[in-house]
Amino acid sequence: MVLNIKIIAPDRLVWSESSNKIILPTTTGQVGVLMDHAPMITGLDIGTIIIETEEKKWFPIIALGGFTVVEDNQVTILVNGVEPTPETSLEETEKNLQESLNKLTKVTTLKEKIESSQNVKKAAARLQALRIIKKKELV
């Protein structure tokens, strides 16, 4: 028995395959889901959904928030959007994360803080996804 995973964005079906494991970026931290997981509904934060493929490799999907329902080995993920894994070097992606963090320390209004915090989360998710792709392992 395996997990049947569907990831649905407003404009398309992002993923519809089976897996043994998935790691979700929930609003309370990362949550791993294996077969026969207890039923749950949880909010997703901006972050990386990490799925173990049939080849036992990890596949990252950068999600821009949403919700997940887990029940009877069915994992349904509704995301606000997804981003492709960046096609830059690890060094450049790390630099972009550092720049986002620096901008966050300089904001003054609540609106700027919210936007800057989201940019930091996106930059961190891009880096995590790229590390997984480059090293072909879970980081």
pLDDT tens by residue, 103-134: 999 999 999 999 999 999 999 999 999 999 98
Q: pLDDT tens-digit profile of 11-43? A: 999 999 999 999 999 999 999 999 999 999 999
What is the C-alpha R_g of the chain? 16
Q: Which H or E run contains 4?
A: strand 3-9
The domain locations on the chain are: 3-82, 90-135
Residue 29: beta bridge partners?
A: 26
DSSP 46-97: EEEEEEE-TTS-EEEEEEEEEEEEEETTEEEEEES-EEPPP-S-HHHHHHHH
**pTM > 0.75:** yes
Cβ contact 61:7 at 8 Å: yes
Backbone angles phi, psi at 118, to 5 degrees: -65, -40
Domain at 3-82: CATH architecture:
Sandwich (2.60)
Backbone angles phi, psi at 69, to 5 degrees: -120, 130
Amino acid letter for position 37: H
Residue 88: beta bridge partners?
A: none
